[in-house]
Amino acid sequence: MAAGLALLVVAGSAWAQEEPEESEPPEAQEEKAPAYPRLEVERPLTLPRGLSEVQVGLSYFDASRYFNADGESTAFEDSEEWRLLEVLIELDYGLAPWLKVGAGIPYFSGKEFEAEGENLGDLYGLARLRLVGNAAKTAELDFDFQASFPTGDADLEMELKNKHFYQENLRTGDPNVDLFFGLSGRYSWNKMAFRGGFLYGYRFAGEIKSGIEALEDTVEFDPGESLELNLEYLYQIQSWLAGSVGLDYQEQAANELDGESLEDDWSLWRIRPGVELQITPNMDLIVETAFPLSGQNAPVAYPIIVLWKNRF
């Protein structure tokens, strides 16, 4: 009898150990599911509700030639140089699956012909609103809005050298608020995706200081309008690696000083290849360069572009 009771106890113990644990309710499983696609070609242009993304970007070039006013590749004079380091920090947040907001600020350091210096650029805020999207989440069309505020260096400090006036400081901002409007879109299928869009910029006039240090005067500076176009093709090589090639166009109208054109308008076409390493589901590292095709008053440059993104 005692042996029988012992056998029942042992059997009961074994049954208790083999009994499967109670599974989590479907709601809890859904909460643990990733809110953002792992593959770059599947990612939307906005962010899921409650998800934040910080971006830290770096771009650097040191050009030995530039496109002149006639679009010809020209070498610099002895004292001239065109090199630029840009560091950008941006923080975005998903207010809703169809609305992303954010803010950022750039930092510039370098030399453009004779002008040299370093300073913060203009602080900006942004919003991206999805206008159209399909149920499969493979296509979308968004409206982009951006506003920048005068936190950079907008003055024109001049120096007299060899009987000629040259700009001495590197301008990093505008004297007033700038507004930007545009559209961006995406279409993906299988391992491929197309992304593209445009952004038009309208800049308001404002007062700046201009002239030689001892003879500076306050003048009205009217920045020219701008336009940016881009088209990008992506291919998902591996689950953690994507390749891309983009075509970019940038255009800036001439600035005016007290109603007179400075004739500093510029434009640039370039091809931009790159790769993206998806280090974790929420961390990416993008490395790109660019090849100039044609332009006007723009550097013939081959920049190194690095962008780190982290979502939380």
pLDDT of residue 9: 36
Question: Where do we find the tokens 């059997």?
Answer: 11
Mean pLDDT across the chain = 89
What is the three-state SS of 37-78? CCCHHHCCCCCCCCCEEEEEEEEEEEECEEECCCCCEEECCC
Reported confidence tier of residue 1, pLDDT bands at 50, 70, 90: very low
DSSP character at residue 33: S
Reported confidence tier of residue 161, pLDDT bands at 50, 70, 90: confident
- Measured CA to CA, the distance from residue 224 to residue 110 in angstroms comes to 22
pLDDT of residue 212: 85
pLDDT of residue 266: 97
Reported confidence tier of residue 304, pLDDT bands at 50, 70, 90: very high
Q: Two tokens at 295?
A: 């332009």
Closest CA to 153 of 92, 215, 113, 110: 110
Q: What is the pLDDT of residues 180-219, one digit of tens each?
A: 999 999 999 999 999 999 999 999 999 999 988 777 889 9
Whether the pTM exceeds 0.95: the reply is no
pLDDT of residue 41: 96
Q: How far is CA 45 from CA 64, 126, 139, 211, in A?
A: 36, 13, 10, 44
Question: Does 5 have pLDDT greater than 60?
Answer: no
Question: Does 6 have pLDDT greater than 50?
Answer: no
Q: What share of the chain is helix, strand, coil (3-state, %, to 5)?
A: 10, 60, 30
Domains along the chain with CATH numbers: 37-311 (2.40.160.40)
Average pLDDT over residues 152-172: 87
Average pLDDT over residues 169-180: 96
pLDDT of residue 25: 53
Helix (H, G, I), strand (E, B) or coil at 232: strand
Question: Does 80 have pLDDT greater than 50?
Answer: yes
If residue 199 lies in a helix (H) or strand (E), which one and from where to where?
strand 192-203
Q: What is the pLDDT of residues 18-34, one digit of tens each?
A: 444 444 454 444 444 44
pLDDT of residue 216: 82
Is residue 255 within 8 Å of 222, Cβ to Cβ?
yes
pLDDT of residue 160: 81
Reported confidence tier of residue 2, pLDDT bands at 50, 70, 90: very low
Q: What is the pLDDT of residues 250-301, one digit of tens each?
A: 999 999 999 999 999 999 999 999 999 999 999 999 999 999 999 999 999 9
pLDDT of residue 88: 98
pLDDT of residue 165: 80
Q: What is the pLDDT of residues 93-127, one digit of tens each?
A: 999 999 999 999 999 999 999 999 999 999 999 99
- Residue 62 contacts by C-beta under 8 Å, 6 or more apart in sequence? 81, 82, 83, 301
pLDDT of residue 279: 95
- Measured CA to CA, the distance from residue 164 to residue 306 in angstroms comes to 38
